[in-house]
Amino acid sequence: MSKDQSLTPLKMLLFSFHATNTIILSYLPLYLRYKGLNGTEIGWVLAVGPLASIFSQPFWGYLSDKHKTVKLMIQICVVGLLVTSVLFFQMNTLIAILLMGAVFYFFTSPIGALGDSLAQRSAEVKGVPFGSIRTWGSIGFAFSSLIIGAILTRVGIQYMIWPYLLFGLIAFIVTFKVPDVKVDSEPLQFSDIKELLTTKPYFIFLILMLFITVTHRASDSFIGLYIAQLGGTESLVGVGWFVGVMSEAVIFATAGWWFRKYRPLVFVILAGAIYAIRWFLYAAADQSYQVIILQVFHGLSFGIFYTAAFDYVSRIIPRILQSTGHLVFFATFFGVSGIIGSLVGGALIDSYGGSTLYFWLGCSALIGTILLTAYHVLPYGKDERVRQVE
């Protein structure tokens, strides 16, 4: 990418893809409930996506690094998104939904990570903050959650496939205008992946952050059902996501101002503490509007945590492995965490209700924050000891 190329197509790609992602993340649990699935079954379906992502994200990341193109991989995955989503939404039995869902998520789950990897590289080339590009994904997410929520309240959750396809088609069209970013390196070998997985600071950090990211993914999966348990409608679910993601967009947009003041791990720990407080407050809520108001903490928790964690892993992985390293990080953040969060969260909300679920999410986030604080004061947590990017 040359410095005079516009970032507008990339921003539009992030906007449109995250608009589709909103529809799945916000309304798929409600859609599955409409199909007749209970909380535990919904948890199984939601776990299929993260399970598929564990394999698909490193796979597409490896191809991206090996062929030195992020753009082409995104285009292939978006085509897969459009084709498999049509089939996925035609399934009616649990087994069929699970099997087709695995294929659907194989193509859709890497797009966000590939887009963020492209945004991070583009930000370096253009000399702009990563958050100033990534914020457009949050804006697309927020826009879709508000508008689609209102529409689905009127026409019914069973029609969610149509706005999904619309935003997916826009994303595909935009990809042709997105400039690629080339990586000047030797062809990627499988031995390089072994080097990535044996980078101890990277591996240890991924394990410790699970205590926090599991809580994030569990909430993503079941906040819609929790709001419904408290008496909220599909439209109110959309408002909740809008509030949360707009606060996230503000954090991403202002990252260039606040992010350089301290080391990334300081922000990771701060965000972990906010996560813990946030979940305990959710557990205490007894009205749906209280959860909506508390969604403002989404930006202060996820926005800060993701920005700082993404920057941190970018520092500690070799440049030749940037796409692969980012996607393994993404697979851990949204894959492994999603499986645990969906399965455990589904069982908890089905058996004990949303309040109990969020109480345990708060406990997990608190443990993760304590462990990351210990990691920060140990040698592996020192930034100056882990700069292996160059």
Look up tokens 């963020």; give the residue. 116
Q: Is 36 in a helix, a strand, or coil?
A: coil
Which positions of the chain have pLDDT values less than 50? Answer: 1-2, 4, 383-390
Rg for the chain (alpha carbons), in Å? 19
Report the pLDDT value the prediction gives residue 214, as an integer from 0 to 100: 96
Q: What are phi and psi of 357, to 5 degrees?
A: -55, -50
What is the per-residue pLDDT across 59-89, written as a single tens digit (0 to 9) for each? 887 788 778 888 999 999 999 999 999 999 9
217 in Cβ contact with 357 (< 8 Å): no
Query: What pTM does this model have?
Result: 0.77
CA distances from 296 to 174, 242, 249, 276, 357 (A): 31, 9, 11, 14, 20
Taking the C-alpha atoms of residue 338 and residue 199, their distance in angstroms, rounded to an integer, is: 24
Question: Residues 46, 29: contact at Cβ < 8 Å?
Answer: yes
Contact of 115 with 141, CB cutoff 8 Å: no
What token pair was written down for 288?
A: 């749906």
Other beta carbons within 10 Å of 186: 7
pLDDT at 111 (0 to 100)? 92
Give the pLDDT score at 155.
Answer: 92
User: What letter represents residue 84's amino acid?
Assistant: T
